[in-house]
Structure 1
């Protein structure tokens, strides 16, 4: 296993982390004796495999059903000095409530401290303001840190880039690390990675396999373009070669889920990453250019467009264009439909009105909204094509399914 300095925390962070979303028994918390014993046994097997291969960072969240409770059956038995444990707690109105939630998390984990504590889901300016207010949850997190029960304080985010940059700069003491989205198909947050590096923060990449393209079930075209690598291996390898990236979350539901990710680490360790990646990146760019006239699936939404909620009808125009381009360029239609049909139902976790309401927006308003884009003349037609390709039944966030 490779390890990287996790910013100013000085932790030796493995380049792969064990995420806690996929081995839990449902999304609602429940007493441990109500959890399926087979699921708890699988949790143990996942953690034991991760430790065997040197993945010493385990992360979870208070909101991941009984995940903390399940981990509490395993973590106290492992050498504490080898473990880096992170949990995440959603913003609360008061410091007392946040502290109460944290203390409950410690009881569930059966630990007396965690190494990393994140404020979970600082996804827009309103949530950031709530977190940072005097007497709020960031203040509580700092007090917990001062007490020795948490080593370092960070935050997780699904925010648009401008709000993410604001969050990176919001805490006068400086957040120690950030959990954010960044992978080959979604590179908009590169400026945020650069900002985090400038502040010597740890960077943890959320869900590169699922949110990064549902790569556990990739389309045939993408498989061919990534050959000889599996798309999971390609995406891990590409992301881990980007400056400032420290670790990727592996949402393992079973011990074998680590296998492809470990293949990427072996290529990285061998020093072959650049030679292996270059022809694949070239083919992917060629295929995208042939389909949409641009090598980058984010190109049409990269500048001059309003972010979600600021656009007519509250539509998330950059995301609608991005998903259309992924479908056309790399046949990522299943992924595109999944994400497109979450719009309008995921609140600040994936903001924007339901995409098929584009038909309700007057053409004049849409034209005015996109006038600042270099692709302004074409974007209305591209947006309509996005609806035609991807609109369908509403999708829920995993935590609501």
Structure 2
């Protein structure tokens, strides 16, 4: 396992971090996962107050192993709020559940809107109790996680209030590349959220995608895309059982630039996208927004791109089903809400027939509504 400096926190953390949003079936299964992760060199555990019994299970497991406190790093997260006292209470609760005297990193969990950002920057900011806790030695560093539009992420980074950021960025979704660059310029640690699941459900890829990525797996290639990038500090790795830590553990010792064969696989993916979609390919410029019906047009069409080009229909249905069901965590309405008003059409540099493509996507991907794993 390789390690990278986590931005201005100066913590040398493993390039894979054990995330705990999913897979917490019971304390014993989590203990087995944690044991394997620690044996493999993972030294960073990431959780949140909202993740069910995650903090409690971590505390029990760490006590069971009796690991010296200096041998691992803990990150937990609290939702932003206009009430600073709520943050102070959550911090005390997390210290108790985790059974530690201090927590290395605290993130405000989901600065997803302009309103959330105001709660951070206002005079009576929800950061105040965390800044006080830093002075008292209860926490080390303050960061934030985000599912926000790029513009909100950039504004939050430019507050210069944070030492690290948890965000989405993958081979199949590179919209946040400017945020990764800005964070790197500001020496803010970059933690990539859910690269295998939100990055394309790459643990269960369709046959066409597997063939295009041969001799590598799609999961392997996405990991290499991220870890070959020196701007990226660490990737989240969630597992319900020890075996699910692979193939990440096999990639975690390779931070080298992309090799010739890996580049060839990425070139095949790009060529297939161009060839299959042709004139209907959305290049994700975001010029079509805003939509008067609040349809997240670029994301809807991205999911169509993936379904048509790579047969990633299952992933598309998974994400499309979250529209109108996940609030600010996944904003936007479904493609069938299009009224064909035509406002987006003159803004599209590729002259896409956006209304028809939205309807086509809805027919392809609409299924059962989806919600986030942990509701807040």
Q: Deviations over 1:241-292 (max 9, x none)?
A: 12411100001111111120122224x25x4742341111011111111111
Q: Residue 23 of structure 1 corresponds to which residue in structure 2?
A: 23
1:377: how far off? 4.1
- The alignment of Structure 1 onto Structure 2 pairs a total of residues equal to 374
Deviation of 1:107 (Å): 0.4
- The alpha-carbon distance between structure 1 residues 128 and 247, as it changes in their structure 2 partners (threshold 3 A), is same
Q: TM-score, normalised by structure 2?
A: 0.95
Tell whether the 8 Å contact from 2:84 to 2:125 is kept in structure 1 after alignment.
Answer: yes
Give me the whole-angstrom Cα distance separating, in 2, the residues matched to 1:152 and 1:284. Answer: 39
Aligned to 1:328: 308
In the alignment, is the contact (CA less than 8 A) between 2:75 and 2:105 conserved in 1?
yes
Q: Which residue of 2 aligns with 1:102?
A: 91
- The aligned counterpart of 1:381 is 356
Provide, for residues 287-339 of structure 1, a one-character-per-residue CA deviation record: whole Å limited to 9, x for no partner. Answer: 111111389x761x324121xxx412111111111000010111110110111
Looking at structure 1, the residues matched to 101 and 370 of structure 2 have their Cα atoms a distance apart, in angstroms, of 39
Q: Is the 8 A contact 2:291 2:343 kept in 1?
A: no
Q: Report the Cα distance in structure 2 between the residues aligned to 1:229 and 1:294, rounded to whole angstroms.
A: 29
For 1:74, what is the secondary structure of its paired residue? helix
2:101 is aligned, of 112, 125, 135, to: 112
State the superposition RMSD in angstroms: 1.8
* Paired position in structure 1 for 2:246: 259
Unaligned runs of 5+ in 2: none
Distance in 2, Cα, partners of 1:230 & 1:375: 32
* 2:344 pairs with 1:369: yes
Q: 191, 194, 199: which one pairs with 2:181?
A: 194
Distance (whole Å) between structure 1 residues aligned to residue 212 and residue 355 of structure 2: 29
State the distance in 2 between where 1:136 and 1:7 align: 24
- Runs (5+) with no aligned partner, structure 1: 26-38
Aligned equivalent of 1:138: 127
Aligned ranges 1:181-260 → 2 under 5 Å: 181-260=168-247
1:291 to 266, 270, 276: 276
Determine the C-alpha separation between the residues in 1 that align with 2:224 and 2:285: 24
Which stretch of the first structure deviates more once superposed, 152-161 or 225-234? 225-234
Higher RCO (CA-CA < 8 Å; seq separation 6+) = 2
1:87 and 2:76 aligned: yes
Q: Cα–Cα, structure 1 residues 92 and 280, in superposed 2: closer, same or farther, change >3 Å?
A: same
Q: Deviations over 1:19-56 (max 9, x none)?
A: 0112324xxxxxxxxxxxxx201111111111111100
Matched, 1:302 2:277: no
Partners of 1:151 and 1:294 lie apart in 2 by 51
Q: 1: distance between equivalents of 2:247 and 2:172?
A: 19
